[in-house]
Amino acid sequence: MKLLLALTGGYKRVMDRVLTLQSETQTFINAQYAALGYDMVLSGCAVTDNGNGTVNIAPGIVFLGGDTLRFDGAANISSNGTMAFVRGGAVTSYPSTFADGSTKNLYSEAKAVIAAQDVDNIYQIKVTTTLYNLQSYIQDQVYQSEVKGTIKEVYDLDGTFLANFDDSGLGVTPRWLNWARDNGNNGTPGSAGMVIIGAGTYTDPVSGQQTVYANGVPLGETKHALTAAENAPHTHTLPSNPTSIEDTGTATYIGLTQNPGKAPGSTGSSGLGTPHNNMQPSMPAYRVVKIK
């Protein structure tokens, strides 16, 4: 925004008052947004996606690095996040003729421009198909107000969600600061493939049996092989007129000749004991945890 220059020579005082008021208002606004600590779009800067990896950005007002700046708009800017809003150089402007006949510039102004982003500055307004704005900031503060340990599940509908986190799973964009993917890093328990249940003591309403579910302790298995004790009690029906029986007492019916002098011990073995699927119908989504 415009900064009033210190000039002498006599010009209309109404201009002095207007620019002074604007300067004082800007100082107040800058102080408020500086306390937030984020760069953001304050007004305007509507984004139009060109459908070819570039966007057009309408004029507007942005807050960058402690200062409120005007932005004159830009066209055909890469939308892959490598470009960002930065402060341009100050330019003196608005020449006016003074009472002494001289012509002087009344103010200087630095505007926001688009340039290569600083990869180390997570607070820059990076150019994608959306821009970080005041509304986004308010929503982010709601996220940041969540208590430590809060869990959220997110569907990655457009394939951009993982870009909010570094390789370890730690959140690096404003919305996901102090959050981490629940992948076992950054103090998270790592719950990939698991369903969340309530921690505490559960009492079965039929048997009355109580089971304690300790907070953060993994349970269950994807596949399970039944043990003998887990098989339901059952019998196998044998033929009423058994055929040839071996002498071991654990005979298998292997022939066609009746041998009534021997009694069978057991039927032949069957089944492979292969572990079977033990999962309820499920829908995977990314899970994140508030870690601070």
The per-residue pLDDT for range 60-109, each reduced to its tens digit, is 999 998 888 999 999 999 999 899 999 998 887 777 777 777 777 777 78
pLDDT band (50, 70, 90) for residue 8? low
Question: CA quadruple 244, 246, 247, 248: dihedral positive or negative?
Answer: negative
Please report, as a single letter, which amino acid is at residue 112.
Answer: A
Distance (Å, whole) CA 22 – CA 189: 53
Q: Is the pLDDT of residue 259 over 60?
A: no
Query: Which pLDDT score is estimated for 128?
Result: 92
* φ, ψ dihedrals at 119, nearest 5°: -65, -20
Whether this model's pTM surpasses 0.85: no
User: What are the tokens at 278?
Assistant: 């033990």
Query: Which pLDDT score is estimated for 4?
Result: 58
Percentage with pLDDT > 90 across the chain: 36
Domain residue ranges of the chain, discontinuous segments joined by +: 2-140, 150-192+286-290
- Residue 120 is classified by DSSP as T
CA 176 to chain centre: 6
Q: Look-up: residue for tokens 């009344």?
A: 106
If phi over 0 gives left and psi between -120 and 50 gives alpha, with beta otherwise, what is residue 44?
Answer: left
Distance (Å, whole) CA 172 – CA 163: 9
Query: Which pLDDT score is estimated for 3?
Result: 61
Task: Cite the DSSP H helix spans in 155-199.
Answer: none
R_g (Cα) of the chain, nearest Å: 36
Q: Do the Cβ atoms of 186 and 168 come closer than 8 Å?
A: yes
How does the average pLDDT of the chain come out, rounded?
80
Query: Which pLDDT score is estimated for 222?
Result: 78
Query: Which pLDDT score is estimated for 104?
Result: 75
Helix (H) or strand (E) holding 83: strand 83-97
Query: Which pLDDT score is estimated for 15?
Result: 57
Q: Do the Cβ atoms of 142 and 148 come closer than 8 Å?
A: no
Distant-in-sequence, close-in-space partners of 200: CB < 8 Å, separation ≥ 6: 212, 213
Query: Which pLDDT score is estimated for 198?
Result: 79
pLDDT band (50, 70, 90) for residue 154? very high
Query: Which pLDDT score is estimated for 247?
Result: 44
Q: Is the pLDDT of residue 58 over 60?
A: yes
Question: 145 vs 11, which has greater pLDDT?
Answer: 145
Distance (Å, whole) CA 207 – CA 201: 14
